[in-house]
């Protein structure tokens, strides 16, 4: 279960990085 939460957090981090790149 803990691994699933970590994967979800990493996915959100990647989405945030992509949004930052698009705005830059």
Q: 1 versus 7: which is more confidently predicted?
A: 7
- What is the pTM assigned to this prediction? 0.58
Q: What is the pLDDT of residue 22?
A: 86
Residue 9 and residue 16: Cα distance in Å, rounded?
11
Q: What is the pLDDT of residue 23?
A: 80
Longest dimension (CA), the chain: 35
Residue with tokens 């949004």: 19
The predicted-structure confidence for 3-24, as pLDDT tens digits, reads as follows 999 999 999 999 999 999 988 6
Residue 11 and residue 17: Cα distance in Å, rounded?
10
């Amino acid at each position: 279960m803990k691994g699933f939460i970590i994967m979800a957090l990493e996915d959100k981090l990647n989405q945030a990085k992509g949004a930052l790149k698009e705005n830059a």
